[in-house]
Amino acid sequence: MARQLKEAVVLITGASAGIGKAAALAFAKQGAKLLLAARRRDQLEEVAAAVRSLGGEAIVAETDVADRQQVQSAVNTAISAFGRLDFLVNNAGIGYFGLLEDTPIEAIEALWAVNMMGTIYATQAAIPLMRKQRGGHIINIASVAGKRGAPGNSIYCATKFAMVGLSEALRVELHGSGIEVSLICPITTSTEFFEASSARSKRFHPPTGPMQTAEKVARAIIRCARRPRPEVIVFPPARILVLLNVLSPRLADRIFLGLRRRLFRGLDDR
């Protein structure tokens, strides 16, 4: 039977924009209580107001997920405000466009700090609470880029592959504890992500390939929250690429080589 989300306590990182914001509004429509975490307080307050107008409850926690103390404090706030934590949505994430050889070490470290360490900090803080409750659900927003590497995106892909490995291991570690672990793998999604990543990389890199909305990803998150699944590939045709890569990585390489000119636009000036 599908789980009811009414009154469920949900902590979403990266809730100030894009997929995190859409997920917050989707949980709010189900009557959930939300702890919204990200760095930009103004945006978080706007999302919180939208959540309340939909009948949900929301509090905001200005949080840089790269800082372990701040993440712990966001989890503590959820507990002190709502008394429990039913869902942790590890969504905060950043990208960088460039060939590996051109990518500054500071950018590499920043991607690992947010995408991976942020996920680890929040998950380590949540597990003891969820164990005590004998239940909870950790939903990690990875990417199809965590199932097959894409050129010009190597560090981002590496962080998302790490998220996939972490989630798979954790799912088995937590078996029998009542804590579910799910991976959501979107394809290119229409959010601020490309603008923010282009600004970070100091080069504009337009999205390529099929594009979905943040609301579509949010609906997939809600379906998974109601009926937990190990992994959700939000755009089903992307499974073909994932499967092809397992069966024949060389053939999957050929797809990217065929798209090379489009994918590398502005990235390789040699």
User: Which residues of the shown chain bind ligand NAP in the complex (CB under 6 A)?
Assistant: 13-14, 16-20, 38-40, 43, 63-66, 91-94, 114, 141, 143, 186, 188-189, 191-193, 196, 214
Write phi, then psi, for 2 (nearest 5 degrees). -65, 140
The residue among 30 and 188 lying less far from ligand NAP, judged by its C-beta, is 188
Looking at the Cβ atoms of 182 and 191, the one nearer to ligand NAP is: 191
Q: Look up 156 and say whether it is catalytic.
A: yes
Residue 45, number of CB atoms within 10 A of its CB: 15
C-alpha 179/C-alpha 44 separation (Å) is 28
Tell me how far, at minimum, the Cβ of 150 lies from ligand NAP, in Å: 11
Q: How far is the CB of 10 from ligand NAP (least distance, A)?
A: 15
Three-state DSSP state, 57 = strand
Active-site position among 156, 161, 193, 235? 156
Answer for the pair 189, 166: CB distance below 8 angstroms, yes or no: no
The residue among 1 and 94 lying less far from ligand NAP, judged by its C-beta, is 94
CB of 7 to ligand NAP, least distance (A): 25
Closest CA to 33 of 58, 16, 14: 58
CB atoms near residue 58 (< 10 Å): 25
* Shortest Cβ 254–ligand NAP spacing (Å): 23
Helix axes 249-258, 238-247, angle to 10 degrees: 130
- Which residues are annotated as catalytic? 156
